[in-house]
Structure 1
């Protein structure tokens, strides 16, 4: 900091005495230690430069880039910057640009890392000194990339979902929707962005829908309703919802599943079961051991009464009897009939 310290030193009028010189040296030493402590305290690399030439650097800069204090002095500031960014840095140096910006920095060993630069021009007795701070933002960039990858991954999952997904704000307006949801309603993704939930929900009133949006929380809700397509046709849906606050704004995440086919199958199954139950109720069966007389062939019922076979069976089934006569009985009972024939 020698040059900067000298630039900041006040002018002494007249010939100073020995004690005055001694006192001024002590003051300069204290000031130097103070500035050095302040410069070396931050995690950022700090450089002092004049017309792009390095005058000094702090210890953080030495650790970050690998140049010793002696190696750094006299180098142009762009030597710490990757070649593709040097023109931008050179321009900012020349124009005195003081806002933060990002570039790729270059270490002594040739490795690079992303960094943020912010500089400030200081005028000392007509000489412009540029104080530049460089901050390693590798972790920040890695976190940003992880976040971007996660956003892309989630977007792929949402867009590839077989269910319709729509996010609705607290006013009932579409905040975001996937392609499947738009297709289910017969709209384009752009068209769906301009709709409200009451534009497609056929079952609930606007007031009831707004009430449901207010009531849903992070515990979520699960219910069935009816949606109306763009062409006016209707279909049944099953909806799972979750509420959350994002940027001081309540949003409701909805997964919508078309259950038209499921409902049709359930109705068909219910009808089939009903038909089977009706048929079963009409069916009467005979089971177990039936006591029958060896002579007259009557059957004894559960109450101990003897009944004719046909009566017993007719009462316990849907069988009806017609009466005729077999050949053996006909011969025995009507022998003349066979002789005449």
Structure 2
């Protein structure tokens, strides 16, 4: 009576004794079962097989169909032994109703067929494994790896992982099984039949254990090789760009000219090293101020190159004198224009040209003094060709500056050879 199933003791099929479990399974009362031909509890389609096992003394479990008192057929698992009973050799048999088990198997079969139907029409690689990662099912999309379906079944998923990813994925797999962290994603390289590798993005889900089925793992993987290749190209491009930026920053920071980057409202974002040193200010002192405010002004400078560059959206070059600094500057303002045509920044290159301007002024004064002199002045290069003359020379010879530049005396005074001509000259 402690058995979960029905127990019957029979002699050549006639029931001698039974437990309550047999009554519950078959629907017969205990008194009805005693003396009954046990084959009446077996469906006609299974009786021949059951009788054959009785006669053969078969003692291993097997399945058959039983029939209840109300005529309902149901699946049975039978297991029998020959035992001595009240001085006779009789047979004891356990009846176990496996209706629920069969329903579960049918449901599992239905789910498997449904899974195959769904996965066969998916681009993702869907696989079902045991808790150790051994393939039990692989969707047709796995053909993209080049393997036959039967080749994968029974093999471990980690077998195909790239050696460089093996340790990480094995650790993540173990942690996933222990934590049952559904929805976790991971990326790794997976070997194809031809030896090449694809990048896969995989998400896992645990299929909970039931009375009849151990726990499983369901994986859905997507080919992300193209994305990873683009990411690698982008990474290399960024590395190259970072290198160029470092080189550019190094060049700008060490450039002798002043470089400023401003917003369209003339707010300074930054200067290079030369700019901070010229102004005698730190980046913190400069950042957020307008360029003219750094000179102590309330409004922008007259003839401002940046203002004109903003207005024209073209590079503008100016030379100007800044009285607050007693310095001459050359300024080249370059607008940085966005894709929608708006000016985002102004990059201004500023050079101190005070020394040049003062030299030019000295040259102007010298040239003016030279031209006003009563004495003849002639400048020649090392090959004795004329470079510069003054007005006194022109007055004496009649030769103007354009006539003499690049010529020698011999070229200018051909035909003057007699003493009289020389005397006149």
**TM-score bracket, shorter-length normalisation:** 0.5 to 0.7
Q: Determine whether 1:236 maps to 2:324.
A: no
Distance 1:228 1:256, change over 3 A: farther
**Equivalent in the alignment of 2:359:** 268
- The answer to whether the Cα contact below 8 Å between 2:261 and 2:346 also exists between their aligned partners in 1 is yes
Separation in 2, partners of 1:52, 1:213: 72
Q: CA RMSD in A?
A: 4.9
Q: Which has the higher contact order (CA 8 A, sep 6+)?
A: 1
Separation in 1, partners of 2:154, 2:322: 73
Unaligned runs of 5+ in 2: 1-72, 75-108, 375-391, 399-425
Distance 1:270 1:111, change over 3 A: farther
- Within the candidate set 159, 176, 186, 2:250 is matched to 159
SS at structure 1 position matched to 2:396: coil
Q: Determine whether 1:132 maps to 2:220.
A: yes
Structure 1 or 2, whichever has the larger Rg, is 2
**Equivalent in the alignment of 2:299:** 205
Distance 1:279 1:200, change over 3 A: same
SS at structure 1 position matched to 2:183: coil
**Equivalent in the alignment of 2:403:** none
Separation in 2, partners of 1:217, 1:98: 56
Aligned-residue offset at 1:238:
1.7
Q: Determine whether 1:287 maps to 2:396.
A: yes
Separation in 2, partners of 1:243, 1:255: 11
- The answer to whether the Cα contact below 8 Å between 2:286 and 2:294 also exists between their aligned partners in 1 is no
Q: Determine whether 1:85 maps to 2:168.
A: yes
- The answer to whether the Cα contact below 8 Å between 1:200 and 1:228 also exists between their aligned partners in 2 is no
CA shift digits 1:75-94 (9 cap, x unpaired):
44444251342224543564
**Equivalent in the alignment of 1:330:** none
Separation in 2, partners of 1:201, 1:246: 33
- The answer to whether the Cα contact below 8 Å between 1:118 and 1:133 also exists between their aligned partners in 2 is yes
Separation in 1, partners of 2:340, 2:221: 32
Aligned-residue offset at 1:37:
2.2
SS at structure 2 position matched to 1:287: helix
- The answer to whether the Cα contact below 8 Å between 2:191 and 2:198 also exists between their aligned partners in 1 is no
Aligned-residue offset at 1:36:
0.9
Count residues with an aligned counterpart: 256
CA shift digits 1:287-316 (9 cap, x unpaired):
359xxxxxxxxxxxxxxxxxxxxxxxxxxx
**Equivalent in the alignment of 2:235:** 144
Distance 1:171 1:139, change over 3 A: same
- The answer to whether the Cα contact below 8 Å between 2:207 and 2:217 also exists between their aligned partners in 1 is yes
- The answer to whether the Cα contact below 8 Å between 1:201 and 1:227 also exists between their aligned partners in 2 is no
**Equivalent in the alignment of 2:262:** 168
- The answer to whether the Cα contact below 8 Å between 2:126 and 2:218 also exists between their aligned partners in 1 is no
Separation in 1, partners of 2:370, 2:336: 49
Distance 1:267 1:55, change over 3 A: farther
Unaligned runs of 5+ in 1: 1-13, 16-24, 290-341
**Equivalent in the alignment of 1:96:** 181
Query: So what's the TM-score if we normalise by structure 2?
Result: 0.45
- The answer to whether the Cα contact below 8 Å between 1:213 and 1:252 also exists between their aligned partners in 2 is no
CA shift digits 1:201-234 (9 cap, x unpaired):
567726998x9399367644444567899xx886
Query: So what's the TM-score if we normalise by structure 1?
Result: 0.54
- The answer to whether the Cα contact below 8 Å between 1:170 and 1:214 also exists between their aligned partners in 2 is no
**Equivalent in the alignment of 2:422:** none
Separation in 2, partners of 1:227, 1:90: 72
